[in-house]
Amino acid sequence: MDRPTSPSPPPPYRRIVAEIRRRIDRGELAEGDRVPSTRRITQEWGVAMATATKVLTTLRQEGLVRAVPGVGTVVAATGVRTDGGPAPRTRAVPGSGGGRRNPPAAQGRPAAQPPGLNRARIIRAGIRIADAEGLRALSMRRIAAEFGVSSMALYRHVANKDELVLLMADATFAEIELPEPAPRHWRARMEAGARLQWKLYQRHPWVAQYLSLIRPQPMPHAMVVIEWTMAAVTRLDPLAKLRLALTLVNHVRGTAVALEEDLEAEQRTGMDVEQWMESLGPEYERIIRSGSFPMYEGINDMDDAEMLRLDELFEFGMARLLDGYEMFIEGRKSGPAR
């Protein structure tokens, strides 16, 4: 006699959808509240970005959430859900009159500046927004809303958005803890410094897009990291060391730019890298069958996601770059950079 099979557990995205739906139904997330972003979902539930994207797509299809430009994904207006479930409830505030979210005092009078509002708190709020939704979602108005104040209150602490983003970017480099004791060999030191930067960009993908080699901004904390990375190189003049440093920085940054680009593309298309490549498979097959691309033909049967994994591209590129550095550093004596 066959044993009855137990039902398979729901896929991860369904469990996350159910949890966010529960928060909405219980009023923990009220109308207009921002729901967890794709990045927040990946961090909170430990799932892939594709799964997080599917969560928000499903919630939108069910009518529970909607996308607001410059804000993010928020709980939709109260009403009947498309899946037939109960309507989301707004969170009642004592003395506010039923389900309205804000007390009357917040509607007719400008909010007072919260005690302790300062430059450090504004910078941290800006980083949280950029981490969750990208630098394009950042605005002075958006940060002011985080504190319940007008945008003008922020200008007492930062001159403008440009200055704020500069301070935000430098603050992320201040998070880096330089190893102690430091690696003694120049190559191990450079590898350590590059990996510290790579991990920084993974935590804050927007920083890579913000940085510029041709129009560098004064960022003392970033300069500390670069100085530390190059400190074990002693045979070269300062200009040669700087050019080596910038070339290494550009490899890390150039690879990391794809982190933010991939997130934006996934949010825009609803497809992860594997789904994207699969959708383009027939067109690639047609091009490769022409016989004009032997390199591509040789890798045609390999896994696309495996080939395009950024961590492996970063490590491969760094190793080959430092192989060249070894010939340059060890094979020549100190002299002017050319």
Residues 244-263 have pLDDT tens digits of 999 999 999 988 888 777 66
Name residue 52's amino acid: A
Over the stretch 174-195, which tens digit does the pLDDT of each residue have?
999 998 898 899 999 999 999 9
Query: Tell me, what's the pLDDT at 79?
Result: 36
- CA–CA separation, 216 vs 210, rounded Å? 10
Domain map (residue ranges) of the chain: 10-68, 119-171, 186-330
Can you name the CATH fold of 10-68? Arc Repressor Mutant, subunit A (1.10.10)
Q: Which one of 103-107, 189-193, 295-299 scores highest in mean pLDDT?
A: 189-193
Average pLDDT for residues 111-132, to the nearest whole number?
79
Query: Tell me, what's the pLDDT at 106?
Result: 38
Token output for 14: 């369904």
Helix%, strand%, coil% for the chain, nearest 5: 60, 5, 40
* pLDDT at 151 > cutoff 80: yes
- CA–CA separation, 134 vs 136, rounded Å? 5
| Same fold for the pair 10-68 and 119-171 | yes
Model confidence at 105, pLDDT cuts 50, 70, 90, reads very low
Residues 268-301, buried b or exposed e (16+ Cβ, 10 A)?
A: eeeebbeebbeeeeeeeeeebeeeeeeeeeeeee
179: which strand partners? none
Query: Tell me, what's the pLDDT at 100?
Result: 34
Least confident of 128-132, 140-144, 257-261: 257-261
CATH of domain 186-330: 1.10.357.10
Classified as helix, coil or strand, 68 is strand
* pLDDT at 200 > cutoff 90: yes
Average pLDDT for residues 66-92, to the nearest whole number?
53
Q: Which one of 35-44, 86-95, 173-182 scores highest in mean pLDDT?
A: 173-182
Please state the φ and ψ torsions of residue 65, each to the nearest 5 degrees. Answer: -135, 165
Query: Tell me, what's the pLDDT at 150?
Result: 86
Classified as helix, coil or strand, 338 is coil
Query: Tell me, what's the pLDDT at 92?
Result: 35
Summary mean pLDDT of the chain: 77
Token output for 191: 């590898």
- Among 37, 41, 38, 19, smallest CA distance to 28 is for 19
Query: Tell me, what's the pLDDT at 95?
Result: 35
Average pLDDT for residues 119-139, to the nearest whole number?
88
Model confidence at 97, pLDDT cuts 50, 70, 90, reads very low
Model confidence at 71, pLDDT cuts 50, 70, 90, reads low
Length of the chain (residues): 338
Task: Please count the other Cβ atoms lying within 10 Å of the Cβ belonging to residue 161.
Answer: 16
Can you name the CATH fold of 119-171? Arc Repressor Mutant, subunit A (1.10.10)
* pLDDT at 102 > cutoff 60: no
Model confidence at 267, pLDDT cuts 50, 70, 90, reads low
Q: Which one of 32-46, 234-248, 251-265, 322-336 scores highest in mean pLDDT?
A: 234-248
Q: What is the DSSP letter of 9?
A: P
* pLDDT at 81 > cutoff 50: no
* pLDDT at 241 > cutoff 80: yes
Q: Which one of 86-100, 280-294, 310-324 scores highest in mean pLDDT?
A: 310-324
| pTM score, whole prediction | 0.60
* pLDDT at 60 > cutoff 70: yes
Query: Tell me, what's the pLDDT at 167?
Result: 95
The CA distances from residue 248 to 171, 189, 239, in Å, are 21, 12, 14
* pLDDT at 332 > cutoff 60: no
Who wins on pLDDT, 25 or 116? 25
Query: Tell me, what's the pLDDT at 136?
Result: 84
Residue 232 burial (10 A CB sphere; 0-12, 13-18, 19+): middle
